[in-house]
């Protein structure tokens, strides 16, 4: 007897999936993993192989794929993003379903745009531009310095300041915003002293229009805090209920927009903040 | 007269590209942006619209796309990842080249796997599982505590410890490893005292097999340090040459693998570390 709604492992079919690229493989891994998650009754073994930038490496990987194919009952799935068409052709010879993300999209785009792509003419993919790189490093530095309300300086330079009680996901979300979007993201933890005071702390009052709040289900907060500080007053359900209620009251009273962070991934929190606070990404 | 190899802006053709999703839009934005970068002679205006999860929102976006199409000389490109096929169909009516990443790949995958996808039967996309979420939050916490050699405790818990002179990209790379792969990534800055001593500092000696080094071109290091601390001894070209030479000697003597971080993006550094240090991602 099982209360699980999914099939037990023995009834799942098995497949190997390869994510291949002649560069980092980050794009193909993300897209491929998303696509596989649409097939819930298949147990995929996922193997990422980046930097396949020579014919020799590509030939070796074809060997690895064919070995998998002969071991299992069915041939692997291969997702790839090859800038170099020669490498892509080598992989086409593998005993696998090979879906190359670039070639599938580039053809209709070439027709639409009426020009050939750099891909087709053999140019290499552009690298991160130095201005983006600097902006990003600077955003990470700023965000680390303004994590958890640490530095009192330069709060006005923040593109956004996240507020909320401790353990609502502010720090990871700020780091994601800095790394992926180049956003200067500060955060300030609301503590009982903030609730006793009638107004926002001074460093937040000056940046009111850039404040954005996170709230959370008190029971979930209690469980998370209990993992780190078991049986503390800080983690008690009563204190969690109190803090969340007070924090929500404060944000409503001050007219600060906020969202419920319960059960959201870091990506979901970061993209929701970008979207709802109408922030523009600084880097690509 | 121009020394640029690219066409001047006036000779670039202009297009609008939309990245649309009924969820965060992170996958489609990354893939779409990669694809557009293959067309270097077109200046794209890129617009990401996430969370298009109702028919009403989809209809409004079709209006926005059609407005762009009537304004410009050519219709926009639309890249999407819609889990909900009804929303996808609404977007198909827009005056645009619409490439839906999911539908393009799902059909050949369904044939290969011999089953229908959850997508097709209308199930929603899975959310991040709670174990992954916890692993990730914990990895970020660990990484922040062990940034820049701060905490002396628990160095053995690190999956990897990056070493190198200051400003080689250790901190951003560690944060990326924690956020994207759930890796416990510590880092330790090599300073002149480490070069004077004959051995590695104590906390590193115990984790020798998990050390990985970054080196950098001294001139590039000089330029970067000069931006933060102009005209300091720390930033001087002579000191940068000295530190890089000593750090490389130390790493070679100790048999610590290292890579040249000059001009590499954070993604490139992180994936290279994963690959070369043979780390396995802890989360998806």
| Domains, chain B | 12-121 (3.40.50), 130-276 (3.40.50)
CB contact under 8 A, A175 and B171: no
Mutate to test the interface with B, among A105, A107, A127, A220 (most CBs of B within 10 A): A105
Nearest residue of chain A to residue B15 (CA atoms): A113
Residue pair A82/A22 in contact by the 8 Å Cβ criterion: yes
Q: Between B50, B99, B140, which is nearest A105 by CB?
A: B99
Contacts of A137 in chain B (CB under 8 A): 169, 172
Q: For residue A99, which residues of chain B lie inside 8 Å, CB to CB?
A: 105, 108-109
CB B130 within 8 A of CB B181: no
CA distances to A5, A226, B158 from A230, rounded to whole Å, are 32, 4, 24
**Is there a contact between B35 and A105 if contact means CB atoms under 8 Å apart?**
yes
User: Which one, of A184, A173, A189, A135, lies nearest residue A266 by Cα?
Assistant: A173
pLDDT, tens digit, 9 for 90 and up, residues B83-122: 888 999 999 999 999 999 988 999 999 999 998 887 655 4
Q: Answer whether A14 touches B (CB < 8 Å).
A: no
Q: What is the pLDDT of residue B128?
A: 61
Q: What letters, b where the CB count within 10 A reaches 16 and e where it falls short, cover B219-236?
A: ebbbebbbeeeeeeeebe
**Of the partner residues A38, A127, A175, the one whose CB lies closest to the CB of residue B117:** A38
Q: Do A99 and B105 touch (CB under 8 A)?
A: yes
| CA pair distance A146, A178, nearest whole angstrom | 12
pLDDT at residue A267, rounded to an integer: 92
**CA-based nearest residue in chain B for residue A75:** B112
Q: Which of B25, B27, B133 sits opposite A31 (nearest CB)?
A: B27
User: Across all residues in chain A, what is the average pLDDT?
Assistant: 90
Q: What is the average pLDDT across B50-59?
A: 95
Whole-angstrom distance, CA of residue A188 vs CA of residue B45? 34
DSSP B88: H
Which tokens in the block code for residue A36?
């596989």
Q: Which residues of A touch B127 (CB under 8 A)?
A: 263, 265
| Gap between the Cα atoms of B28 and B21, Å rounded | 7
Cβ-based contacts of B267 with chain A (< 8 Å) = 24, 26, 128
Q: Is the ipTM of this complex over 0.90?
A: no
Least confident of A59-63, A82-86, A278-282, B207-211: A82-86
User: How many CA atoms does the CB half-sphere of A147 hold within 13 Å?
Assistant: 21
> What pTM was computed for the model?
0.89
Q: Closest Cα partner for B144 from A46, A140, A185?
A: A140
Q: Considering Cα of A102, then A104, then A109, then A110, what sign does the dihedral take?
A: positive
Beta strands in chain B (DSSP E): 13-21, 42-49, 77-81, 97-100, 160-164, 185-189, 211-215, 258-260
Residue B258, φ and ψ in degrees, nearest 5: -150, 160
Is the predicted pLDDT of residue A75 greater than 80, yes or no? yes
The stretch A133-140 carries a mean pLDDT of: 93
Nearest to A179 among B46, B179, B227 (CB): B179
Q: What is the mean pLDDT of residues B222-250?
A: 96
| pLDDT over 60 at B213, yes or no | yes
A190, A204 Cβ separation under 8 angstroms: no
Name which of A66, A23, A28 is nearest A46 in CA terms: A28
Q: B34–A40: do the CB atoms touch at under 8 Å? A: no
pLDDT of the residue at A166: 96
Q: Which residue out of A172, A228, A275, A277 would a mutagenesis test of the B interface target, given it has the greatest number of B Cβ atoms within 10 Å?
A: A172
Q: What is the pLDDT of residue A122?
A: 45
pLDDT at A124: 39
Locate the chain B residue with the closest alpha carbon to A128: B265
DSSP A149: G
Range with lowest mean pLDDT among A112-126, A179-193, B27-41, B149-163:
A112-126
Option in B35, B115, B179 nearest A41 (CB): B115
- Categorize the per-residue pLDDT at A127 as very low, low, confident or very high, splitting at 50, 70 and 90: low
Which residues of chain B from 154 to 213 reach within 8 Å of chain A, CB to CB? 169, 171-172, 175-176, 179
pLDDT of residue B10: 53
């Amino acid at each position: 007897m099982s209360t699980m709604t999914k099939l037990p492992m023995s009834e799942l079919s098995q497949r190997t999936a390869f994510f291949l690229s002649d560069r980092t493989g980050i794009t193909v891994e993300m897209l491929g993993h998303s696509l596989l998650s649409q097939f819930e009754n298949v147990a995929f073994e996922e193997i990422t192989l980046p930097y396949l930038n020579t014919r020799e490496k590509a030939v070796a990987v074809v060997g690895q794929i064919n070995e998998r194919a002969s071991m299992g009952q069915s041939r692997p799935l291969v997702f790839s993003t090859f800038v170099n068409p020669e490498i892509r052709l080598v992989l086409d010879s593998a005993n696998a379903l090979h879906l190359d993300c670039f070639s599938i999209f580039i053809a209709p785009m070439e027709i639409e745009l009426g020009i050939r792509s750099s891909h087709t003419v053999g140019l290499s993919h552009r690298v991160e531009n130095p201005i983006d790189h600097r902006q990003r490093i600077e955003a990470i530095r700023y965000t680390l310095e303004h994590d958890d309300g640490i530095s009192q300086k330069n709060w006005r330079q923040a593109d956004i300041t996240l507020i909320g009680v401790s353990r609502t996901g502010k720090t990871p979300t700020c780091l994601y915003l800095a790394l992926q979007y180049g956003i200067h993201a500060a955060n300030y933890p609301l503590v009982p002293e903030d609730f006793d005071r009638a107004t926002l702390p001074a460093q937040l009052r000056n940046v009111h229009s850039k404040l954005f709040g996170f709230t959370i289900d008190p029971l979930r907060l209690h469980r998370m805090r209990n993992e780190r500080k078991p049986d503390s007053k800080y983690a008690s359900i009563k204190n969690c209920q109190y803090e969340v209620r007070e924090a929500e009251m404060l944000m409503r009273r001050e007219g600060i927009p906020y969202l419920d962070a319960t059960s959201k991934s870091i990506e979901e929190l970061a993209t929701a903040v970008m979207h709802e606070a109408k922030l523009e990404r600084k880097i690509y």
